[in-house]
Amino acid sequence: MSAAVLRLDLTTDPSAFLAAAGELLAADPVRTTLVATVTARAIAEDERGVLPGPHPRWWLSVRDAADQVVGIAMRTAPFAPHPAYLLPMPDEAAVALARLLHERGEPLGGVNGALVPARVLAEETARLSGGTTTVQERTRLWELGELVAHDAPGGLRIATAADVPLATAWWNDFGVLAAEMTGRVGPPHGSESLSEDELASRVEAGLVWLWEDPDGEVVHLTHHNVPAYGVVRIGPVITPREHRRRGYAGAAVAQVSARLRAEGHRVCLFTDQDNPTSNRIYAAIGFRPVVDTASLVIR
């Protein structure tokens, strides 16, 4: 495919993007889960009058000579380095996107998503800026197949308003905890922080689940996103250091997944490939790999 027949349509309006690219998102809703849910959340926030943060926020549709959408990207991450997120697209489109951002003076410090276009975009960006690229994190998308029940001491309950301070503290510490489990050092890459108000809205929407041990102490948190095209993505899954190795994560994710499956949804999640514990737990529950992705940093 020649770059000359590709058209890059970039918009800051999530509703306009969804109107343009919704058919492609719906065609493979597990692989497109992140873009679909983030876009839906942005539309809901716009409807409520929530102002976007000062970080870059845009969506991209790549169209071919027949005016068909053949690639998708977005840049909405509120955390530094505000990476772009790419779904599969022609290499020429990834190169063209790097040049477009360079021409408009928009620095790009990171790229996440599908391996090949993410690397192409990062390498072209680094070439234009005189920088270098590094793979910061290797991730993997999984979909639930046949669910295998798991149990642990205690039980699952939905979070309430009283749990918001604890849940917020755990959420905002998750990047550090996850990095520790892979042996990485230094500040975590791509860690999203939430205010108590933001976490409270997710609790009110019924998206946050907690596991209590037999003494009634909260020892684990599992969050899931709203459905998009029949798919629900679980994450983050958080067990503080002092409560690990008791089976809480496996039991909570299995039971939350069972509830979502009973509502008619497909269930998926992302893992860090360098975290053998989480990969083992989810495989034992019945999750199966779908596609490998990555996070790259441009310096």
Q: 56 with 257: CB under 8 angstroms?
A: no
- In the chain, at which residue ranges do the beta strands (DSSP E only) sit? 7-11, 58-63, 69-75, 84-86, 110-114, 133-144, 155-158, 208-212, 218-224, 231-238, 266-272, 287-298
Q: 142 with 285: CB under 8 angstroms?
A: no
Q: Mind listing the pLDDT tens digit for each residue in 76-129?
A: 999 999 999 999 999 999 999 999 999 999 999 999 999 999 999 999 999 999
Q: 150 with 251: CB under 8 angstroms?
A: yes
CATH number, domain with residue 162: 3.40.630.30
Quick one: 193 and 272 in the same domain? Answer: yes
Quick one: 49 and 90 in the same domain? Answer: yes
- The total domain count for the chain is 2
Q: State the pLDDT at residue 190.
A: 54
Picking from 131, 165, 183, the residue at the C-terminal end of a domain is 131
Rounded Cα distance between 199 and 262, Å, is 25
Q: Determine what percent of the chain is predicted with pLDDT higher than 90.
A: 87
Quick one: 287 and 160 in the same domain? Answer: yes
β-bridge pairing 84-86 and 110-114:
parallel
Is residue 277 one of the residues assigned to a domain?
yes
Q: State the pLDDT at residue 265.
A: 98
Q: State the pLDDT at residue 50.
A: 87
CATH number, domain with residue 100: 3.40.630
Q: Mind listing the pLDDT tens digit for each residue in 183-211?
A: 665 444 556 789 999 999 999 999 999 99
Is residue 75 one of the residues assigned to a domain?
yes
Picking from 69, 96, 131, the residue at the C-terminal end of a domain is 131
Rounded Cα distance between 17 and 247, Å, is 41
Residue 290: what residue type?
V
Quick one: 88 and 170 in the same domain? Answer: no
Expressed as residue numbers, the domain containing 104 is 3-131
Please tell me the pTM assigned to this model.
Answer: 0.92
Check pLDDT > 50 for residue 2.
no
CA dist list (Å): 220 to 91, 182, 233: 41, 19, 18
Is residue 76 one of the residues assigned to a domain?
yes
Quick one: 163 and 119 in the same domain? Answer: no
Quick one: 184 and 242 in the same domain? Answer: yes
Quick one: 170 and 271 in the same domain? Answer: yes
Is residue 148 one of the residues assigned to a domain?
no
Quick one: 159 and 288 in the same domain? Answer: yes
Q: 158 with 208: CB under 8 angstroms?
A: yes
Picking from 96, 131, 166, the residue at the C-terminal end of a domain is 131
Average the pLDDT over each of 142-156, 186-200, 257-271 and give the range with the smallest value. 186-200
Quick one: 45 and 121 in the same domain? Answer: yes
Quick one: 76 and 166 in the same domain? Answer: no
Is residue 139 one of the residues assigned to a domain?
no
Rounded Cα distance between 159 and 284, Å, is 26
Which residue intervals of 104-163 are DSSP H helices? 115-129
Q: State the pLDDT at residue 1.
A: 43
Quick one: 181 and 114 in the same domain? Answer: no
Quick one: 224 and 121 in the same domain? Answer: no
Q: Look up residue 254 and give its DSSP letter.
A: H
Is residue 101 one of the residues assigned to a domain?
yes
